[in-house]
Amino acid sequence: MNTSILLVEDEKLLSESISQYLSNSGITCTQAYTYNSAVNKIAESEFDCIVIDIGLPDGSGIDLISYIKKKKIEAGLIIISARNSVDDKLEGFTTGADDFIVKPFHLSELNARINAIIRRKKFNGKEVLEFHEISVRLESRSVFVKENKINLTKKEFDLLVYFISNANKIITKDAIAYNLWKNNADLAISSDIIYTHIKNLRKKLIEGGSKDYVNAIYGIGYKFGE
Amino acid sequence: MKLLYKNIIINSLASLLIICFGGIITYFFIVNKIKQESYEHLTSERISVEEKLKKGLSPNELQNNIGDEIIIKEISAPSNKKPFFTTVAKEEEANEDYEEGEAEFEAQAIVFDYSVNNKYYNITIIKSYDNDEALGENILNAVMISAILMVLAIVFINTFIYRKIWAPFYFTLKVLKHFTISRRDTLTFPKAKTAEFEQLNNAITLMAEKISHDYLSLKEFTENASHEIQTPLAVINSKIEMCLQDTQLSPQQAKMLMEASYAVNNLVNLNKGLIILTKLDNNQIDAPVDVNISKKIYSRLNLFEDFIQEKDIDVNLKIDDSVVVKIDPVLAGILFDNLIKNAIKHNLPNGGKINIEVTKELIKIANTGAQPKVNTDKFFERFYKEGSTESLGLGLAIVKKICDIYHFNILYSHKDGLHTITLNIKQV
């Protein structure tokens, strides 16, 4: 399945990085720098997900979401915003956004969120995330290696989903900390907790019969893949 | 000291000084005048004595003929001495106020020589009654009465001025005392009748408007700047992340990129902290609602479970479940997040303790940890940190700010290896 997204972000340098990262993960990324070009691109083609910056030079991202909803376009909607305010989030969600990410974010985090939304839309909740012999049933939060059920803690499960969403990518410790602990990521970074969780997940997967996909990249972080 | 008292004291002292000085001058003027008059009187007496002697009156007859005391001595030879004035010590008569030895005063007298019919006389006329001392006493009394009246007048006038004329000034002062710039107050004064006060009010109003305007633009600038910084930070972060994907990176390059990433992350967190502080400084907070403290603490503790387990921290809770505080729930979350995070971060590496106690009056969060190396008074100041570069030094400043908003008294203490932060949550 080929997924395509529309990225509406006026900061070209950021837009470039995002599109490059997503393309490497097999997502076709169309870039729009303004409200109007976004409207045109929406008219031209269909997208699985639209990523929208709130502050656009010629309009508001919130208005763009209203426009998309009015046109009854069935795409996942993610807001990226420089403002981390409760009001902005509330407005975004009530207008119809599916997710809200505050700048600055890790590309791996955005990737994971886009994947999650697309899965939710496509599988209507009965999503299964697969990576070689590992399959993750998201709605029941259970993990299987071939036929073996693996018992993971909540954090180990989230970690695995994050790994698979960013398979074959190098993920920094910071990005993992943020994904698992959000605002308390700093506490995780200053401790060995990430290492502990990864060690446990790795052990459980191998014991369940999976190959060892967790590669530590010295000094940077981890890569989930062969 | 109050302006009123200052005025009264200064005015009274000045008046007293002037009155005393005036009294002394008056005294001398009058004494001088009396002396002159005495001289004139004595001169005219001399002329009349001379005339009477010329007419042939004997000295004895003269004694009774003149009002003043007269002493006539016959002398053998004529002298060329000119008449001169002098003072003679004289016994006080019939004055009961004085005791005997003191009953003397100086009386004015004229001494002259006169010859008639080949007889030579040395004559002294003494002015019968001279009352310099009584005069001095009277003047002193007058001065004292004027002084008392003057001071009374000063007190009354000043009190009146203070009450009436200065009233607009004190009103202005009261308005200024209650002026809070972050509340965006506007200053309004009733029209003052005194020109200076009207000018003062106008100047203050203008100044306050200017300050408010500057404050608002600075605030907007700070807010916009903090938010605008997020986008370039996002660019830097994304570029670093893209670089890290490169499998050709040497360990050296990877290390440098991670260091850059670490610094950017610090900047991001710093900026987040500053945005929260700016919001708090500007009172951009939601209306307080009843927040159950125990529920809030339990839910926050849940978020930290991993870290508590990881450090094997023993958490002791003594929480009154019924405690409710009026606070913005988001801020309550930030408050307990920061306090609990602190208690974990600065705890012992392994097997430490966290004690949380909540009563109707107090919230106490205590943790084991190393002795603080530096000044604990500064814990709640912005950017204050204990040597380590891991913390940004904003956490406790945010805690303090939230406590200030809700008038919670916050205290830090360290005893027996236990760091305790106590919030006094009694809201009036």
Query: How confident is the model over A54-79, as a mean pLDDT?
Result: 93
pLDDT at A149 over 80: yes
CB contact under 8 A, B230 and A102: yes
Interface A-B, measured as beta-carbon pairs within 8 A, has a size of 106
pLDDT tens, position by position, B267-296: 988 888 888 888 888 777 788 899 999 999
In chain B, residues 331-360 whose CB comes closer than 8 Å to chain A:
337, 341, 344-345
Highest-pLDDT range among A156-165, B20-29, B171-180: A156-165
A8 vs A155: CA distance, rounded Å: 32
Instruction: Judge: domain B3-160, CATH 3.30.450.
Output: yes
Q: Residue B297's closest CA among B425, B180, B190?
A: B425
Q: Which amino acid is at B353?
A: K
Which class is domain B289-424?
A: alpha beta
Residue of B nearest to A101 (CA): B234
Residue of A nearest to B225 (CA): A82
pLDDT at B400 over 80: yes
Please work out, in degrees rounded to the nearest 5, the angle formed at the alpha carbon of residue B334 by the alpha carbons of B331 and B337: 150
The number of beta carbons lying within 10 Å of the beta carbon of residue B153 is 13
pLDDT at position A34 is: 95
Query: How confident is the model over B327-344, as a mean pLDDT?
Result: 92
Concatenating the DSSP letter of every residue in chain A gives: --EEEEEE-S-HHHHHHHHHHHHHTTEEEEEE-SHHHHHHHHHH---SEEEEESEETTEEHHHHHHHHHHTT---EEEEEES---HHHHHHHHHHT-SEEEESS--HHHHHHHHHHHHHHHHHTT--EEEETTEEEETTTTEEEETTEEE---HHHHHHHHHHHHTTTSEEEHHHHHHHHHGGGHHHHHTSSHHHHHHHHHHHHHHHTT----EEEETTTEEEE--
Distance from CA of B237 to the nearest CA of A (A): 7
The DSSP bridge partners found for residue A27 are A3
User: Could you give the count of Cα atoms lying within 13 Å of B383 in the half-sphere of its Cβ?
Assistant: 4
pLDDT at B367 over 90: yes
Query: How confident is the model over A138-154, as a mean pLDDT?
Result: 92
pLDDT at position B132 is: 59
pLDDT at B388 over 60: no
pLDDT at B130 over 70: no
Q: Residue B53's closest CA among B147, B122, B4, B108?
A: B122
- In chain A, what is the greatest distance between 2 CA atoms, to the nearest angstrom? 55
Of the residues B229, B235, B299, the best mutation for testing chain A's interface (the one with the most A CB atoms within 10 Å of its CB) is B235
Query: How confident is the model over B59-75, as a mean pLDDT?
Result: 74
Residues above pLDDT 70, as percent of chain A: 99
Domain map (residue ranges) of chain B:
3-160, 175-284, 289-424
Residues above pLDDT 70, as percent of chain B: 89
- Give yes or no for a contact between B374 and B412, defined as CB atoms under 8 angstroms apart: no
A115: left (phi over 0), alpha (psi -120 to 50) or beta: alpha
Confidence of residue B341 (pLDDT cuts 50, 70, 90): very high
In chain A, residues 29-68 whose CB comes closer than 8 Å to chain B:
none
pLDDT at B168 over 80: yes
Name chain A contacts of B262, Cβ cutoff 8 Å: 174
pLDDT at position B81 is: 74
Query: How confident is the model over B344-365, as a mean pLDDT?
Result: 92
pLDDT tens, position by position, A88-100: 899 999 999 999 9
Q: Which amino acid is at B368?
A: T
The two tokens of residue A62 are 């919130």
The two tokens of residue B123 are 């004559």
pLDDT at B94 over 60: no
pLDDT at B345 over 80: yes
CATH 1.10.10.10 spans which residues of chain A? 128-224
pLDDT at position B417 is: 87
What's the predicted TM-score (pTM) here?
0.70
CB contact under 8 A, A184 and B341: yes
Instruction: Burial-class residue B194 by CB neighbours within 10 Å (0-12, 13-18, 19+).
Output: middle
More confident residue, B244 or B119: B244
- Give yes or no for a contact between A168 and A215, defined as CB atoms under 8 angstroms apart: no
pLDDT at position A125 is: 63
| Homologous superfamily of domain range A3-123 | Response regulator (3.40.50.2300)
Q: Residue B407's closest CA among B326, B317, B313?
A: B326
Confidence of residue B128 (pLDDT cuts 50, 70, 90): low
pLDDT at B320 over 80: yes
- State the CATH architecture for A128-224: Orthogonal Bundle (1.10)
CB contact under 8 A, A169 and B254: no
pLDDT at position A39 is: 95
pLDDT at position B403 is: 92
Task: Verify cis geometry, omega within 30 degrees of 0, for the bond prior to A104.
Answer: yes
Please work out, in degrees rounded to the nearest 5, the angle formed at the alpha carbon of residue B130 by the alpha carbons of B128 and B135: 160
pLDDT at position B178 is: 84
pLDDT at B100 over 60: no
CB proximity B330 to A under 8 Å? yes
B88: left (phi over 0), alpha (psi -120 to 50) or beta: beta
Of the residues A17, A18, A155, the best mutation for testing chain B's interface (the one with the most B CB atoms within 10 Å of its CB) is A17
CATH 3.40.50.2300 spans which residues of chain A? 3-123
More confident residue, B64 or B101: B64
Q: Which amino acid is at B365?
A: I
| Cβ within 8 Å of residue B229, ≥6 positions away | B267, B271
pLDDT at position B58 is: 74
Instruction: Burial-class residue B240 by CB neighbours within 10 Å (0-12, 13-18, 19+).
Output: buried
CB proximity B303 to A under 8 Å? yes
pLDDT at position A162 is: 95
More confident residue, B180 or B387: B180
